Amino acid sequence: HFASVEMTPGDPILGLTEAYLADTRPGKVNLGVGIYYDEQGRIPLLRAVREVEQALALEAKPRGYLPIDGLPAYTQATQKLVFGADSPLLAAGRVATSQTIGGSGALRIGADLLKKVLPKAKIAISNPSWENHRVVFSAAGFDVVDYAYYDAATHGLDFAGMLADLGKLEPGTVVLLHACCHNPTGVDLTAEQWKQVVALVKDHNLLPFVDMAYQGFDKGIDTDATAVRLFAESGIESFVVANSYSKSFSLYGERVGALSVVGASREEALRVQSLVKRTIRSNYSSPSTHGGALVAGVLNSVELRAMWEQELTEMRERIHAMRAGMVQKLAASGSPQFGFIQQQAGMFSYSGLSKAQVDKLREDYAIYAIGTGRICVAALNHANLDTVVSAVAAVSKA
């Protein structure tokens, strides 16, 4: 039956981790995959999460099925985090939120939902974007086009190009926007630029699909949700948000995310939610119990929520410190051209290193980065920073 199956190319990011793990050189550094590591180079288990986990273990609850759209304590807390506790949209009952299998699951359920509602619509993603955006929306049957985003000359945003491209899209086109900490570039919009994008999207009757996988990783929980809050205030009838707790709770493998669909009214949101549930049912029936219980346990406790916010702040500030340290040390090593790394936000930086330079980093220095030049600055620490800096300085002079 499977004789005709050919090898399908694997995920280049996850494939790089396999190569890294197989590397026996001491002092190797993995700047490939987007995971936050602490100062000791470990994936943290947050203190607030551990508290809930210990309490859950003592309770030893039975594991029945969750509702198709997840744990209500989880989806309600998620809505408040994403839209703001005082959001008029929430008060009006216009947001339909479902627990999903990570942010990736939210993207896929959202894609399947939109394909049913708008079968002819295309989706526009940034150039470049997280490669899985193309993979997921193509798999759901979408024609994927792109809009200008990154300007290699400035290592910043091509805002004029972005507005021009968005302005050319047909009404009804879905526009995928990264809320903050753009993956892979680290280049974000200012609040002022978001206002212009929101106005354009509204004017041209485009459908925004906001992907928020890094809330709290740049400036803070509310500031990082500026795009969502501006769409909410804009009077736009409908938009979609996928959010993920993988990074903000350091719960990668628990697969915790959510899909929120904003409708024109409470009644419309209820109808949309019934279709979302049908879509989830036809994919995987219902989400898993443990990860959602952890996040809900933290967000619904005043004390644990404060503890989590403190830990999130520590992660964010550590990333900022590593960016600053890298830029400063590179300048001191005779490579002052990397100042832009400090302006970029979140876990990633498009370093401007070429494919040949990235290959040299891996082959000669056991430092792993993505071929596009993307590095994960959240994997830097005081023990590996000097190694990385001297290698980057060496390959950029060669």
Contacting residue, 38, 44, 127, 132, with ligand TYF by CB under 6 A: 132
Annotated catalytic residue within 112, 158, 188, 211: 211
Contacting residue, 51, 211, 254, 311, with ligand PLP by CB under 6 A: 211
In whole angstroms, how far apart are CA 269 and each of 98, 106, 234, 240, 257? 12, 17, 18, 12, 19
Cα 366 versus chain centre, distance? 27
Q: Give the whole-angstrom CA distance, residue 156 versus residue 294.
A: 37
What is the rounded end-to-end Cα distance, in angstroms, of the chain?
A: 52
Cα 313 versus chain centre, distance? 17
Q: Is 129 in the site for ligand TYF (CB under 6 A)?
A: no
In whole angstroms, how far apart are CA 301 and each of 71, 73, 127, 170? 16, 11, 40, 45
Contact (Cβ atoms closer than 8 angstroms) between residue 43 and residue 250: yes
Contacting residue, 104, 173, 250, 289, with ligand PLP by CB under 6 A: 104
Helix (H) or strand (E) holding 96: strand 95-101
Block residue for tokens 């980065």: 369
Give the contacts of 153 (CB within 8 A, at least 6 positions apart).
none
Q: At what angle do helices 47-59 and 290-299 cross, to 10 degrees?
A: 120
In whole angstroms, how far apart are CA 371 and each of 350, 366, 396? 10, 14, 15
The entry of ligand PLP, ligand TYF, none near residue 11 (CB within 5 to 8 angstroms by kind) is: ligand TYF
The question of whether 360 is a catalytic residue gets the answer no
In the complex with ligand PLP, which residue's Cβ is closer, 215 or 335?
Answer: 215
The question of whether 247 is a catalytic residue gets the answer yes
Q: Which stretch binds ligand TYF (CB under 6 A): 6-14, 69-77, 265-273, 289-297?
A: 6-14
Q: Is 69 in the site for ligand PLP (CB under 6 A)?
A: no
Contacting residue, 30, 79, 173, 244, with ligand PLP by CB under 6 A: 244
Rule CB under 6 A: which of 243-302 touch ligand TYF?
none
Give the contacts of 332 (CB within 8 A, at least 6 positions apart).
none
Q: Is 14 in the site for ligand TYF (CB under 6 A)?
A: yes
Rule CB under 6 A: which of 26-55 touch ligand TYF?
33-34
DSSP-based three-state secondary structure for 245: coil
Q: Is 112 in the site for ligand PLP (CB under 6 A)?
A: no
In the complex with ligand PLP, which residue's Cβ is closer, 247 or 360?
Answer: 247
Burial class (CB in 10 A: 0-12, 13-18, 19+), 315: buried
Contacting residue, 126, 246, 273, 351, with ligand PLP by CB under 6 A: 246
The entry of ligand TYF, ligand PLP, none near residue 211 (CB within 5 to 8 angstroms by kind) is: ligand PLP
The question of whether 194 is a catalytic residue gets the answer no
Q: Which stretch binds ligand PLP (CB under 6 A): 1-9, 100-108, 288-296, 349-357?
A: 100-108
Q: Give the whole-angstrom CA distance, residue 178 versus residue 31.
A: 21
Closest approach of ligand TYF to the CB of residue 348, in Å: 7
DSSP-based three-state secondary structure for 19: helix
DSSP-based three-state secondary structure for 44: coil
Q: How many residues line the site for ligand PLP (CB under 6 A)?
A: 12
The entry of ligand PLP, ligand TYF, none near residue 263 (CB within 5 to 8 angstroms by kind) is: none
Q: Which stretch binds ligand PLP (CB under 6 A): 45-53, 98-106, 294-302, 361-369?
A: 98-106
Interface with ligand TYF (CB under 6 A): 11, 13-14, 33-34, 130, 132, 183
User: Which residues does the annotation mark as catalytic?
Assistant: 130, 211, 247
